[in-house]
A and B are shown apart, each in its own frame.
Chain A
Amino acid sequence: QKEVEQDPGPLSVPEGAIVSLNCTYSNSAFQYFMWYRQYSRKGPELLMYTYSSGNKEDGRFTAQVDKSSKYISLFIRDSQPSDSATYLCAMREETSGSRLTFGEGTQLTVNP
């Protein structure tokens, strides 16, 4: 079983839609949770960062962490064609130094 499971998609939505991206994980030691966006042929860029459980909002993006269910989500409101990319969740233990464990990514296309 993978430590982090993420539906690879692809996910296709119309412009303006609300997008929900999700990851589940099995390692209860994960404490730090991140979402990265990766455009084609580019490196991942950090979108959102959350410590432990709770919600965090940044513009059109909201990250949620539910540690009791081992489930994290990223919501994108008013999605734009420029949001078309692969979204990767990543996690880290308190004691794993700086090593991140990534999901395999969800490919999102927002159609104009």
Chain B
Amino acid sequence: NAGVMQNPRHLVRRRGQEARLRCSPVKGHSHVYWYRQLPEEGLKFMVYLQKENIIDESGMPKERFSAEFPKEGPSILRIQQVVRGDSAAYFCASSQRQVANYGYTFGSGTRLTVV
């Protein structure tokens, strides 16, 4: 069974461009979470989605960031007009149930570099 698949693994964008990060959850998992890991910092929650619904976006910056998890296809984290401070590792995780008492399964991340 494939785990959580994230692509691309590495993404380089110039300031002002758009970044699109993709996440395919574990087969059968309908709950997706995005976290960001800045250099020398722990993971910070960004958003929690179910199919076609945003459940909790309390960790998302108010501007330039958006996320979706359509009925078909991967979850997408979109960052518009990227700035240097957006450079980080972005991790996606998935779970089978809403309340993942056992923790999530994480992907290997997308490392975004803004130049």
Interface residues of chain A, those whose CB is within 8 Å of chain B, are 4, 6, 8, 32, 34, 36, 41-46, 49, 51, 88, 90, 97-105
Say yes or no: B40 contacts A98, CB within 8 Å.
no
Chain A residue at minimal CB-CB distance from B31: A98
- Cross-chain contact B56 with A44 (CB below 8 angstroms): no
Q: 13 A-B Cβ contacts within 8 A?
A: A42-B108, A43-B107, A44-B106, A46-B102, A46-B105, A88-B42, A98-B100, A99-B33, A99-B56, A100-B43, A104-B40, A104-B41, A105-B42
Asked whether any CB of chain A lies closer than 8 Å to the CB of B54, the reply is: no
CB-based nearest A residue for B95 = A98
Chain B residues positioned under 8 Å from A88 (CB to CB):
42-43
Is B55 part of the contact surface with A, judged by Cβ < 8 Å?
yes
A31 → chain B closest CB, angstroms: 10
Residues of B within 8 A of A90 (CB): 43, 103
- Whether the Cβ atoms of B48 and A98 lie closer than 8 Å is yes
- With both beta carbons as reference points, the residue of chain A lying nearest to B47 in the complex is identified as A99
